Amino acid sequence: MTDSYPSWVGFTKLDWALDYCRRNSLWPMTFGLACCAIEMIATSASRYDISRFGSEVFRPSPRQSDVMIIAGTVTEKMAPLVRRLYDQMPDPKWVIGMGVCTVAGGPFDTYAVLQGVTGLLPVDVFVPGCPPRPEALLYALLKLQDKIHRPEVARQRNFHGPLTDRPTKGWMKKGEEIPEVVAAYESKGHTVQSGQLVKG
């Protein structure tokens, strides 16, 4: 088999290209449930501009959308509708759970609110916050793109590494000590040990 095609032919290339297309045109659904939707709208507005990642095409119909941003509290009454909208989306589809309500019910510990949507939908990326900042949602979108491109990152526990295929300028890895910061803190009488601030 390996002799039947030249060595420069790689089967992963098409996959790479298709994943590149998929992750760069994630069209979200126009779908807001609570206050997190306001932050979602802010994300698509001028200052944070989700369109830079090709995701500003908020489709009104679930048939044409790729990613569902569950923005807010899911009540027991709304849950079947959320599930139905998710079922109406064509594959491949992804879900971003935005806000602590989607993680574990958030501040609403009542009989009327779903305590986290994991029992309802398979959530790909959780964004904690009440509500999260627009940048936090953009970071979640980048993480989702990373997951589409390299599914193995989602299997690692506590994966906090940098988003590898998107080199970002001026960003540090976690646990990396920056001389300027250490000097700034030490000049004020603090000490920094292995990336942690220790009050002096």
Residues 68-127 within binding reach of other proteins (CB under 8 A): 88, 90-92, 100, 103-107, 116, 118, 123-127
Q: Which of 44, 98, 139 is nearest to 82 (CA)?
A: 98
Closer to other proteins by Cβ: residue 24 or 77:
24
Closer to other proteins by Cβ: residue 53 or 83:
53
For residue 183, state whether it binds other proteins (rule: CB under 8 A): no
For residue 164, state whether it binds other proteins (rule: CB under 8 A): no
For residue 180, state whether it binds other proteins (rule: CB under 8 A): yes
Q: What is the 3-state secondary structure (H, E, C) of 79-111?
A: HHHHHHHHHHCCCCCEEEEECHHHHHCCCCCCC
List, in order, residues 6 or more apart from 75 with CB less than 8 Å away: 112, 113, 114
Min dist. Cβ of residue 77 to other proteins (A): 21
Stretch of 4-12, 69-77, 78-86, 128-136 contacting other proteins, by CB under 8 A: 128-136
The total number of residues written for the chain in this structure: 200
DSSP 19: H
For residue 135, state whether it binds other proteins (rule: CB under 8 A): yes
Are 117 and 74 within 8 A, CB to CB?
yes
For residue 54, state whether it binds other proteins (rule: CB under 8 A): yes
Amino acid at 3: D
Closer to other proteins by Cβ: residue 3 or 111:
111
Are 141 and 96 within 8 A, CB to CB?
yes
Min dist. Cβ of residue 46 to other proteins (A): 4
Q: What angle, 0 to 180 degrees and rounded to 10, lies between the N-to-C axes of helices 134-149 and 12-24?
A: 160
Closer to other proteins by Cβ: residue 51 or 110:
51
Per CB under 8 A, the list member of 13, 15, 45, 165 interacting with other proteins is: 45
